[in-house]
Amino acid sequence: MNTNLRRREEQDSRIDWGIILSVLLLAVIGIASIYVAASHDTSTTSIARTMISQAVFYTLGIILVVFIMQFDAEQLWKVAPLVYGFGIFLLIAVLFLYSRPYAMLTGAKSWFAFGPITFQPSEVMKPAYILMLGRIVTQHNTENPTHTMNGDWLLIGKMAGWTLPVAVLLELQNDFGTMLVFFAIFGGVVLLSGISWKIIIPTFAIVALLGGFLIFLVVYDRTLLLSIGFKDYQFKRIDSWLDPSANTSSSAYQLWQSMKAIGSGQLLGKGFNISKVYVPVRESDMIFSVIGENFGFVGACVLIFIYLLLIFQMIQVTFDTKNEFYAYISTGVIMMIIFHVFENIGMSIGLLPLTGIPLPFVSQGGSALIGNMIGIGLIMSMRYHYKSYMFSNNKEFK
């Protein structure tokens, strides 16, 4: 009996219940917010279909988390090139088999369509890319334990080489917003990889200056940007970001309505399922406007706190496991979630330009939810196998 109890304690300790609770709270907020958006924007039949669809994807995500938890570091190392290659294959395939109606609606060739079900392969490519990047950096640092300037540049070149195919394919899909997520993951792994600050600081300074110069060209001279492939809709997003009140009836309409909805919620919100400000696409990209209007500043702060708690717990798992490969994986997952949260909330309140970036675990959308749940599965596998290793080395449990 005592042995069974100890085994049960061992099993429980291998599961990070804090991460599960955080994701569960975000899921509850997401389901409630999607219901509010659907209740005011769609028919009764569509409400039921929307809620059932989201519940199905949550269920599938949970199954994937449990499945991925069974993979230890060695197995993840082996499958990294395979899942990366499969992800590249999907990104190529979608260029030929993309959904025409969704391309007309969004301007991006990013979705497969199977009847009423759509799938965006770039979302599941994110965790595959994280695994591959983690493997590349770990392998390089193992072969080159002493960092040199030449070695650091070589590492950056390797990372860029595995990033370039993804960036090119996303550019061909016309999905700049998703490309930014991959760049954020890339930047986070670079910071943790041990590359010299003599390289990192000037590089980031150049990137910042280039970003400022691009904004300058958008405002004062767009000819050069048009000649290198920038699109008119991208200029409109920058315009609406810089001056959201300039054209509230067309290009800035979505942002202006989102800001109105969030502002109207004031401190405590109007109450659950009370929405008087229409916001386009608020069930997915603009879901934060629903939270702001219904639950106010306090509700928004609670949501952000839950994200901070989730990120803190993921960082804690990284420090506990003390595994370099795991550290790069968790960094990629953390950067993916942080960028999504920062960009989605930032664009909803006018601090950042509009992009099609969903709010993790909250926005409607099966592909994004599955991608994020895979990321959670990778983090959970760290704790699961780390604890397993600890117990296997404890004589009481041999």
DSSP annotation string for 225-272: HHHTT--HHHHHHHHHHH-TTS-TTTTTHHHHHHHHHHHHTTTT-S-T
Q: Tens digits of per-residue pLDDT, 142-177? A: 998 888 899 999 999 999 999 999 999 999 998 888
What residues pair up with 114 in beta bridges, in sequence order? 117
| Parent domain of 333 | 2-397
Mean pLDDT of 57-80: 93
* CB neighbourhood size of 273 (10 A): 13
Work out how many domains the chain is built from and give that number.
1
C-alpha 348/C-alpha 355 separation (Å) is 10
Q: Tens digits of per-residue pLDDT, 173-191? A: 988 889 999 999 999 999 9
Residue 169: which residues within 8 A CB-CB, separation 6 or more? 88, 91, 92, 95
- Strands 117-119 and 112-114 come out as antiparallel
C-alpha 225/C-alpha 240 separation (Å) is 18
Check residue 50 and give its pLDDT.
85
C-alpha 362/C-alpha 320 separation (Å) is 28
Mean pLDDT of 325-346: 95
> What are the two backbone dihedrals, phi and then psi, of residue 114, each rounded to the nearest 5 degrees?
-120, 85
Top-confidence residue, 395 or 119: 119
Check residue 393 and give its pLDDT.
47
Angle between helices 232-242 and 197-220 (to 10 degrees): 90
Confidence of residue 44 (pLDDT cuts 50, 70, 90): low
